[in-house]
Amino acid sequence: MEIKEILPCIADPSKYRVIGKVDIENIAEIAPYLARILPNASYNAKDGWISFKKGQRIITIHSDRFVTMTMISSKEEALGILKEIEEKARTAWEKRDEIDISKPLQKTFIGALDVYKYLPKTNCRKCGEQTCMAFAVKLLNGEKDIKECKPLFEDKKFIGIRETLISLLLSAGYEIEL
């Protein structure tokens, strides 16, 4: 496993967004099994990634072995998570005959505050709402589309929170067309 990048976490400036890589060659093949043994995980079969919540952190495992992690306190913590993913991936592969991948995964519950954390928090009103919090509430109610937050898609500095928010919404069962 290795750490590729440590960046500021926009959701919490005291924490980091970390990009790492796991040493599991066939992670794409393992992913549907791994998603069943990771708590609160969602699996996107089309793009082959897994997303799961670990406390406040949102972790996404991509099919090219890259892993993005939000709200990380230290490099050691990130390495610990990568190690845990590698161990669970090996276990999932060894036990694949016992894991039923036809069962739908449980959806994660998310609230407006979870969504708000991964919005730009500028209250710029470009989405037609007075505040980012109002937008978060409407997004969860299905009255707004994530793409209506234009800064999230147009400003490169928001790429990290955008990816995380999309993972979070998908893990909660929201359908997103990008």
Give the whole-angstrom CA distance, residue 32 versus residue 146: 26
Smallest gap from residue 66 Cβ to ligand SF4 (A): 27
Sheet holding 41-44, edge to edge: 2-8, 16-21, 66-72, 57-61, 49-54, 41-44
Q: According to CB under 6 A, which one of 65, 105, 129, 165 is a site residue for ligand SF4?
A: 129
User: Can you say whether residue 106 is alpha, beta or left, with left for phi > 0 and alpha for psi between -120 and 50 degrees?
Assistant: beta
113 in contact with ligand SF4 (CB under 6 A)? no
CB of 126 to ligand SF4, least distance (A): 4
| Contact status, residue 79 vs residue 67, Cβ threshold 8 Å | no
Q: Which is nearer to ligand SF4, 53 or 138 (CB)?
A: 138
Residues in contact with ligand SF4, counted by CB under 6 A, come to a total of 15
Site residues for ligand SF4, 147-176, by CB under 6 A, read 149-152
| Dist. CA 130–CA 18, nearest whole Å | 32
**Under rule CB under 6 A, residue 20 binds ligand SF4:** no
119 binds ligand SF4 (CB under 6 A): yes
CB of 20 to ligand SF4, least distance (A): 29
DSSP at 178: -
Nearer to ligand SF4, 120 or 160 (CB): 120
CA pair distance 91, 162, nearest whole angstrom: 31
Residues within the interface to ligand SF4 (CB under 6 A): 119-120, 122-127, 129, 132, 135, 149-152
